Amino acid sequence: MSIPTWPTLPEDSTHMGRPGLSDDPEWYHTAVFYEVLLRAFGDTTGSGTGDIAGLIERLDYLQWLGIDCLWIPPFYPSPLRDGGYDVADYTAVDPQFGSMDDFDRLITEAHARGIRILIDVVVNHTSDAHPWFQASRNNPDGPYGDFYVWSDTNEKYTDARIIFVDTEESNWTFDPVRRQYFWHRFFSHQPDLNYENPAVQEAILDVVRFWARRGVDGFRLDAVPYLFEEEGTNCENLPATHAYLARLRAMVDTEFPGTLLLAEANQWPEDVVEYYGTESDPECHMCFHFPVMPRIYYALRDQRATAIREILASTPEVPRGAQWGTFLRNHDELTLEMVSTEERAAMYGWYAEESRMRANVGIRRRLAPLLGNSRAEIELAHALLLSLPGSPCLYYGDEIGMGDNIWLPDRDGVRTPMQWTPDRNAGFSTAQDPGRLYLPVVQSLVNHYAAVNVEAQLSQPTSLLHWVRGMLEVRGRYPVFGDGEFVPRDVDNDAVLAFTRSNLETTVLCIANLANTPRTAQIEVPEHAGFQATDVFGGARFPRIDDDGTITLTLGSRDFFWLELTRPGTGAPAPLEGRTDADSAFTAPPGVAPGPSYPASAEEPPRAARTGPPDAGATPLPSRRPTTGVFPGLDGEIAAGPTPPLP
């Protein structure tokens, strides 16, 4: 297997490649997260399933890309009936992924590259194969008899909704061994833990302790709204749940300071914000902002910014030190639970006209196919992800525009192997028989792995991969995107979204055109009247803010600007460190043949360069220092020239 190579980073790199980890306890504010499925990233044994060693081999790629923290979904022993979220042992590594020694080495190697590790802890439920459940069903009077929620009747908690409406008819399932019903909010093979039992609460605290002692930097707490049940409620977001999370946070802050807790709560913002707790009784440091994600997709088809404006306006302030987590896609379906019935119907029509494209209350498609492989729309979606409030999380493969396979069952269609090269198995595995792969690689006409892969895009200066890397670098050089105040701005065009991100040192005005035609918009920034507006990507000067505090701009189809606002007389922003001449060339590693460019739609070819206003002239985006290095999978040392100007 030939592993594609990427330029190494100099030891003095200021944003990416810093040696070791910073000691900032709020590191997550400016971090870029990346979700990677172990089974999907790299197979070093030829088994057809990715493993920890395969991820370690590719850490240099992730460092080069600009990732600060890896989110690794469950890798525990499991029957794998729900992608590992059906846990059979919380304190072991599934042998198909490697050993505990491999995991420890992953932590060491990631930290050496300045990358943190976030893992999933499925706090709400286990697999029915877990020894706790087997003991509970076989010995009701034993120490685990009360570890799960059992009942002689299935008529309790009737106000609780069924989450997996495609497969489940009830939240109760009868167990023929114990001759009672057990409670489950998800699949019937995932019984809910009984948090009324103090022993369960302590057991989950011990799970967190186990992995934190091994050096894990954070925990995504899966399905946190459902920990407790109470008659007469919907059994979600109950006070007892918040009390337990406050206890968990207190333990983490005392025993493992700087360790992150991230809540997975697919709820409305006014409910999710409760999972931060208060300054006196904090709970989670971060929460995913589920409702903002579908509204980005809605706005792209509605061609108006209204949906995004409204959800952000209804999002409460978070406590000091707290942070939202934002994303475009992940390993699940694109959930439509947090949109109206009318919006859901419209989105099904726009994005999932075929029933097999849907799952539960959502759409089981990846980013690029969702957006019709439109390079302009993919860029705009990323620009919003990276500039809206919160820390962004990328999903593996979206940086190259990977496709999906809607013919696979359930959510497997968006969990296919990473596409590294045009070789057999997309460079993911050395398995001689492709049938051994845990899932087939994508072979659709447009998103075929032979055309869409890392190796091909490394050799293309204007590829989506290079563009995403450049955007991450620019974001990293502007901490205001992570910790700055968000202020929506009035605009006279409903297709245009405008807001500022500001801290004591910097203000950046972000403007996005959601329409598929050029639009002119007047944006109001009254407190910045007379300020200079400068493009953060290439330094092009825009007209100053008018004396009445407005600026008028024309944006192309699906276009965006990030403009730094500076006081008159203070000069333009300093050039970004690492910028080189516009004609500097990327030297492809030996053995890496130039591959096809990222396939854009016929009516929207990839844009070759970002430019300023018509009178500013084209200005190259910042590029990076020349580097050399030795890379796995290729013989000898490569001489990599400076990365080209970003598209």
What letter would DSSP give residue 113?
T
Task: Please give the structure tokens belonging to residue 598.
Answer: 């990222």
- Exposed e or buried b per residue across 89-116, where buried means at least 16 C-beta atoms within 10 angstroms of its C-beta: bbeebbebbbeeebbeebbeebbebbbb
- SS3 (DSSP) at 139: coil
C-alpha span between 341 and 594 (Å, rounded): 47
End-to-end CA gap in the chain:
30
Please give the backbone phi and psi of residue 118, each rounded to the nearest 5 degrees, phi first: -115, 130
Q: Where are the alpha helices (DSSP H) in 113-155?
A: 131-138
Q: Are 181 and 150 in contact (CB under 8 A)?
A: yes
- SS3 (DSSP) at 495: coil
- The DSSP line for 354-413 is SGGGB-SSEE---HHHHTTT-HHHHHHHHHHHHHSSSEEEEETTGGGT----TTSSGGGG
> Whose CA is closest to 212, among 243, 249, 246, 241?
249
**How many CB atoms sit inside 10 A of residue 410's CB?**
18
- SS3 (DSSP) at 537: coil
607 contacts: CB under 8 Å, gap ≥ 6: 375, 376, 379, 647
Residue 222: active-site member: yes
Q: Are 539 and 575 in contact (CB under 8 A)?
A: yes
C-alpha span between 199 and 562 (Å, rounded): 52
> Which whole-number Å values give the CA distances from 633 to 41, 298, 630, 642, in the listed order?
15, 42, 9, 22
**Hey, which bits of 284-367 come out as E strands?**
286-288, 323-327, 334-335, 362-363
C-alpha span between 264 and 163 (Å, rounded): 15
Catalytic residue among 35, 192, 222, 229: 222
- Exposed e or buried b per residue across 542-557, where buried means at least 16 C-beta atoms within 10 angstroms of its C-beta: bebbeeeebbebebeb
Question: Residue written as tokens 């970004």?
Answer: 576
State which amino acid sits at residue 431: A
Catalytic residue among 43, 82, 192, 264: 264
C-alpha span between 510 and 487 (Å, rounded): 10
Cα-Cα-Cα-Cα torsion 308, 313, 314, 315, nearest 10 degrees, comes to 90
> Whose CA is closest to 496, among 312, 299, 297, 294?
299
Residues involved in catalysis:
222, 264
